[in-house]
Amino acid sequence: MSRIGKIPVSVPQGVSVSINEQTVTVKGPKGTMIQTCSASVSFELKDSSIIIGRNDENKQTKAFHGLYRNLINNMIIGVFKGFSKTLLITGVGYKAEVKDNILILSLGYSSDVYMIIPQGILVAVEAGNKVKVSGINKQQIGEFAANIRKFRPIEPYKGKGIRYENEFVRRKVGKKAGVK
């Protein structure tokens, strides 16, 4: 039995879950999410928890067992609390701003970088250098934050670039450190 898959998913008050064959729908105060699952995994709603089971012992089914358990757990957390990632922009003249549905990044290039904010994601900029990406879909938030970070990854010598708030950057010494 999968160590992750065998743990039941608890459903908090205010969140409703409906299971229709292989489609799981989760509704909560922040929104609604739908996940279509493989036929090799079964779902059972007991009291205020969801139990995920396997229909066979194939290697792929064992992988799906833990996968769908975590996907459903993330859906429940997303519609109940939501997810967020914070990015810090470090560098002279580096800044970000949001206009309408577009994130504008000034990152030292000859022109600004414009990113369209996808549906279902909220982006807030604090003090020009702190970008907070939030929403109900964990995968969508992580992907959008990674795409922002891709434009100017943190560099190890001066520490300039875009990094996650809790990310540790190992700094390197420059050329003059070894000269006597």
Strand-pairing partners, residue 122, are 134
Q: Residue 21: which residues within 8 A CB-CB, separation 6 or more? A: none
Q: Whole-structure pTM over 0.85, yes or no?
A: yes
Say how far apart CA 171 and CA 45 lie, in whole Å.
Answer: 50
Backbone angles phi, psi at 50, to 5 degrees: -115, 130
Q: Which fold has domain 83-164?
A: Outer Surface Protein A; domain 3 (3.90.930)
Tell me the pLDDT tens digit for each residue of 100-128. Answer: 999 999 999 999 999 999 999 999 999 98
The answer to whether the CB of 3 falls within 8 A of the CB of 65 is no
Q: Which fold has domain 9-80?
A: Outer Surface Protein A; domain 3 (3.90.930)
Whether the pLDDT of residue 180 is over 80: the answer is no
Q: Residue 91: which residues within 8 A CB-CB, separation 6 or more? A: 107, 108, 152, 158, 160, 161
- Domain range list for the chain: 9-80, 83-164
Look at residue 33 and give its three-state secondary structure: strand
Domains 9-80 and 83-164 share a fold: yes
Tell me the pLDDT tens digit for each residue of 148-167. Answer: 999 999 999 998 999 999 98
Tokens of 96: 């970000």
- The per-residue pLDDT for 1 is 58
Look at residue 36 and give its three-state secondary structure: strand
